[in-house]
C-alpha cells in the first residue's frame, strides 16, 4: 500500500482515456450484474418440490400436449393431495396479434387454489354465473382501458370456435389484483375465462386440459406426492411430469430458449471486448511511461516492484469500474422489477454474484496487465533513457 499514490497517479495520468475505459468497464459489469440476476432467477426456480404448496402436472412429452380431464379425479385421490384444479392456455391477443394477453381457460375452483389473488366476492359470483364472463388483472385492465361491464373481443392465436372464427367475445365481470404487490406482475396481467365455455366452443379441445394444479396437505411430502401423481399415468399415452410451479415455468422457458447459454454467450462477447479494450489502454499507458519506469529502476526499484506496480494499476482499473458497475446493477435491479409490474422478479446482486464479479475483475486485470508488466520488468535502463 505504500506505493498506492504512485499507482493512482499513473492510472490517472491520462484522465480522459482512463475515464472512457472506466465507462466501458462499468457498462460491462452493469450488464454482467443484470444478466447474472436473470440467470440466477432461472437457476433458483424450483430446484426441489419440498416446501412448495402447489404442484403443476403437465405432459411429459411437451407443454403443448393436453391431458385427459378424467385424470383430475384420480389425482384428487392421491394421499396428500388437498385440492386439484386445471387450466388450458387460450393464447389471446387484443386488437393486434402483438398485444398478447396471458389468457387461460380455468376450472370453477381455480381461484380457490390461489389465495394470493383477490377478487370482490360479488364479482366472483357473477363470474361463476356468467358463461362468457371473464376476470382480468388490474394492470391489464388499466393497460387497455377495460372496466367491468365491457364486452371484449379477444382473438385466439390458437383456437377457433366451431365456425372457424378466432375472435371470441367475453364479458368483463370482475377485476383481479394480487394481495402481495411484490408478486403482482403475473396475476395482475392475467385474463381468466371459463374452461367449460372454452371446451364447448372450440372443436379442438375435446374435454382435455392443459395442466393440473395441485395443493398438497403437507409441503414436506410434496416430492412423494409428485411421484405418486406421475405414477398414475406411467406407461400410458399421456405420461405426466409433476413439479413446482416455479420449475414448470423455468422448463417452459427453456423449451423456448436456453437462458444460460444466451447469457453466457453475451457475457463472453462483452468480456472479450473488454479484455481487448482495457489491454490496449494498459499497453499505451506503460509505453508512454517507459522513461519514468526506467527512472524508478535507476533510483532503486527492483524489477519485481515495477512488475507489481503495473499489475496493481491494471487490477485497480478493473476493480474501480467493476465495483461501480455491479453497484449500479444492485441499485437498478429492484427498480427494473418494480417498473415491470412484477413480470420480472429479478433477485438483487447477491454475495455469490459479488464474489464472481470480484474474481472476474481481478483475473481480467491480471490478464490485461500481464504483458505490459512483463515488458516493464524487463526494461533496460540505458535503452529506455536513450529513447530506444
Mean pLDDT of 293-298: 75
Query: What confidence category does residue 51 fall into, taking pLDDT thresholds of 50, 70 and 90?
Result: very low
pLDDT score of 226: 92
pLDDT of residue 48: 43
Residue 112 predicted with pLDDT over 50: yes
CA dihedral 358, 359, 361, 365 (to 10 degrees): 140
Nearest to 37 by CA among 256, 361, 331, 353: 353
CB-based burial, 126-150: b 16+ in 10 Å, e otherwise: bbeebeebbbbbbbbbebeebeeee
Encode pLDDT of 23-33 as tens digits.
Answer: 999 999 998 88
- Residue 365, pLDDT > 80, answer yes
Bridge partners, residue 83, by sequence: 215
Q: What percent of the chain has pLDDT over 90?
A: 39
SS3 readout for the chain: CCCHHHHHHHHCCCHHHHHHHHHHHHHHHHHHHHHHHHHHHHHCCCCCCCCCCEEEEEECCCCCCCEECCHHHHHHCCCCEEEEEEEEECCEECCCCCCEEEEEEECCCHHHHCCCEECCHHHHHHHHHCCCEEEEEHHHHHHHCCCCCCEEEEEECCCCCCCCCCEEEEEEEEEEEECCHHHHHHHCCEEEEEHHHHHHHCCCCCCEECEEEEEECCHHHHHHHHHHHHHCCCCCCCCEEEEEHHHHHHHHHHHHCCHHHHHHHHHHHHHHHHHHHHHHHHHHHHHHCHHHHHHHHHCCCCHHHHHHHHHHHHHHHHHHHHHHHHHHHHHHHHHHHHHCCCCCCCCCCCHHHHHHHHHHHHHHHHHHHHHHHHHHHCCCHHHHHCCC
The residue written with cell numbers 365491457 in the block is 150
Confidence bin at 146 (pLDDT 50/70/90): very high
Least confident among 60-69, 282-291, 359-368: 282-291
| pLDDT over 90 (residue 345) | no
Is pLDDT larger for residue 367 or for residue 264?
367
Secondary structure in 3-state letters for 193-214: EEHHHHHHHCCCCCCEECEEEE
What is the model's pLDDT at position 14?
82
Give the cell for residue 21: 475505459
Dist. CA 286–CA 290, nearest whole Å: 6
C-alpha 366 chain-centroid distance: 31
Lowest mean pLDDT among 34-43, 315-324, 337-346: 337-346
User: CA angle, 352 as apex, 350 and 354 as ends, to 5°?
Assistant: 70
Better pLDDT: 168 or 263: 168
Q: What is the pLDDT of residue 59?
A: 92
Nearest to 110 by CA among 16, 48, 196: 196
In this structure, how many other beta carbons lie within 10 angstroms of the beta carbon of residue 384?
19
Question: Does the pLDDT value for residue 49 go beyond 50?
Answer: no
Integer-rounded Cα Rg, in Å, for the chain is 30
Position with higher pLDDT, 40 vs 309: 309
Question: Could you tell me if 172 and 146 are in contact, meaning their C-beta atoms sit under 8 angstroms apart?
Answer: yes
**Average pLDDT rounded to a whole number, residues 142-154:** 93
pTM of the model: 0.64
Least confident residue range of 46-55, 284-293, 354-363: 46-55
pLDDT, mean over the chain? 84
Q: Is the pLDDT of residue 76 over 60?
A: yes
The model's confidence at residue 174, banded by pLDDT at 50, 70 and 90, is very high
Query: Distance between the two ends of the chain, CA-based, in angstroms?
Result: 32
Average pLDDT over residues 109-132: 93
Neighbours of 278 (CB within 10 A): 24
Amino acid at each position: 500500500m505504500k506505493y498506492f499514490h504512485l499507482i493512482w497517479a499513473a492510472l490517472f495520468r491520462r484522465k480522459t482515456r482512463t475515464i472512457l475505459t472506466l465507462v466501458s468497464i462499468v457498462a460491462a459489469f452493469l450488464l454482467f450484474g443484470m444478466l447474472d440476476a436473470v440467470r440466477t432467477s432461472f437457476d433458483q426456480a424450483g430446484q426441489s418440490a419440498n416446501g412448495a404448496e402447489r404442484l403443476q402436472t403437465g405432459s411429459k412429452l411437451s407443454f403443448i400436449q393436453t391431458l385427459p380431464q378424467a385424470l383430475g379425479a384420480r389425482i384428487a385421490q392421491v394421499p396428500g393431495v388437498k385440492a386439484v384444479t386445471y387450466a388450458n392456455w387460450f393464447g389471446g391477443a387484443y386488437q393486434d396479434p402483438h398485444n398478447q394477453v396471458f389468457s387461460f381457460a380455468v376450472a370453477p375452483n381455480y381461484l380457490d387454489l390461489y389465495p394470493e389473488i383477490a377478487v370482490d366476492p360479488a364479482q366472483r359470483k357473477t363470474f361463476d354465473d356468467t358463461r362468457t364472463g371473464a376476470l382480468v388483472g388490474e394492470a391489464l385492465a388499466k393497460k387497455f382501458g377495460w372496466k367491468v361491464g365491457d364486452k371484449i373481443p379477444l382473438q385466439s392465436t390458437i383456437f377457433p370456435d366451431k365456425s372457424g372464427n378466432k375472435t371470441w367475445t367475453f364479458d368483463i365481470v370482475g377485476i383481479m389484483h394480487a394481495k402481495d404487490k411484490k408478486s403482482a406482475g403475473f396475476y395482475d396481467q392475467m385474463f381468466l375465462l371459463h374452461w367449460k365455455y372454452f371446451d364447448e366452443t372450440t372443436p379442438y379441445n375435446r374435454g382435455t386440459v392443459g395442466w393440473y394444479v395441485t395443493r398438497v396437505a403437507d409441503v414436506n411430502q410434496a416430492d412423494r406426492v409428485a411421484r405418486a401423481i406421475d405414477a398414475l399415468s406411467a406407461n400410458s399415452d399421456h405420461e405426466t411430469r409433476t413439479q413446482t410451479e416455479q420449475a414448470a415455468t423455468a422448463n417452459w422457458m427453456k423449451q423456448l430458449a436456453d437462458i444460460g447459454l444466451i447469457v453466457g454467450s453475451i457475457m463472453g462477447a462483452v468480456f472479450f471486448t473488454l479484455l481487448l479494450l482495457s489491454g490496449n489502454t494498459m499497453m499505451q499507458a506503460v509505453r508512454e511511461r517507459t522513461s519514468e519506469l526506467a527512472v524508478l529502476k535507476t533510483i532503486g526499484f527492483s524489477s519485481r516492484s515495477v512488475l507489481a506496480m503495473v499489475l496493481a494499476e491494471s487490477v485497480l482499473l478493473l476493480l474501480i469500474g467493476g465495483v461501480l458497475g455491479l453497484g449500479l446493477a444492485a441499485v437498478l435491479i429492484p427498480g427494473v422489477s418494480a417498473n415491470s409490474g412484477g413480470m420480472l422478479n429479478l433477485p438483487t446482486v447477491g454475495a455469490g454474484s459479488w464474489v464472481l464479479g470480484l474474481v472476474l475483475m481481478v483475473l481480467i486485470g491480471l490478464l490485461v496487465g500481464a504483458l505490459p508488466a512483463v515488458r516493464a520488468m524487463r526494461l533496460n535502463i540505458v535503452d529506455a533513457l536513450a529513447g530506444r
